[in-house]
Amino acid sequence: MLSIIIPAHDEAPVIGATLDAVFAATRARRADVDVIVVDDASTDATAAIARDRGARVIRVEVRHIAGARNAGAAAAVGDRLLFVDADTLVSAQAVDAAMHALDSGAVGGGTAVRFMRPLPLRVRVLESASIVAFRIFGVTPGCFIFCTRAAFTAAGGFDEGLFVAEDVALGRALARQGRVAILREPVVTSARKLHTYSLGEKLRFSLRFLLAPRRAARTRDALPLWYGPRRHEPPARPPGSGDDRP
């Protein structure tokens, strides 16, 4: 049994597409898939949309990505866990590759991540470089991270002392339990942080984080890109849909 856990805070504009992609990607194994949306203190229609799409919804009031993911894992019935972000579109190829990796002895892993288009050329170059770097260094991006329940439990779950980079920390903890696989099959995630925050806002956040990364990662007050009011943008197209212009 595979449990797919989607943490969500005020994600009404995107959660429907995310769930449509999840259900399409798992259609062949639908009887063995448990889809959970963890509604973390949403003030919009996130929960209603998720229920209408057929997901199981649990409500938490933690406003904390690690805590929401752990709550989803606690409610899950599967012996395999897949964490997907609410603004990420998965494919059958990525899900199947994750299950094959677990079948082959991996305790968990992540996959390549691409951003929705259109994107400036400089960002597309950075995107490609990050995919290579993540494979080399075994980084597990949180928008698609999978593991066995046994390994998740042994790793201690997501570190709730962290408000960001908890996905990377879990990947390192999983690596102490066994082999971690970084897949080549990509998922597509929103680039809304790039588009909806000004250059000045991003620079101020980056400087604060670079000066004191440990302290910044442990308080939501220093992380407006993750814990400020949700900013959405008009729907964009995934890569290869015909508009890759800068």
**Under 8 Å between Cβ of 191 and 225:** no
- Strand-strand pairing, 2-8 and 144-148: unpaired
- Assigned domain for 238 exists: no
- Assigned domain for 80 exists: yes
Question: pLDDT by residue for the chain (246 residues), tens digit each?
Answer: 999 999 999 999 999 999 999 999 999 988 899 999 999 999 999 999 999 999 999 999 999 999 999 999 999 999 999 999 999 999 999 999 999 999 999 999 999 999 888 777 888 888 888 888 888 888 898 899 999 999 999 999 999 999 888 999 999 999 999 999 999 999 999 877 776 667 677 677 777 767 777 777 777 776 776 677 777 775 544 444 444 433
Nearest to 157, CA basis, from 141, 144, 174, 140: 174
- Assigned domain for 229 exists: no
Omega before residue 118 within 30° of 0, cis: yes
**Alpha carbon distance 67, 157 (integer Å):** 9
Predicted pLDDT of residue 196: 67
- Domains of the chain: total: 1
Predicted pLDDT of residue 197: 65
Predicted pLDDT of residue 119: 77
| CATH code, 83 | 3.90.550.10
- Assigned domain for 151 exists: yes
Q: By residue range, what is the domain housing residue 148?
A: 2-192
- Assigned domain for 210 exists: no
- Assigned domain for 233 exists: no
CA 89 to chain centre: 10
* DSSP H helix total and E strand total for the chain: 11, 8
**Alpha carbon distance 47, 37 (integer Å):** 8
**Alpha carbon distance 156, 186 (integer Å):** 27
- Assigned domain for 198 exists: no
- Assigned domain for 208 exists: no
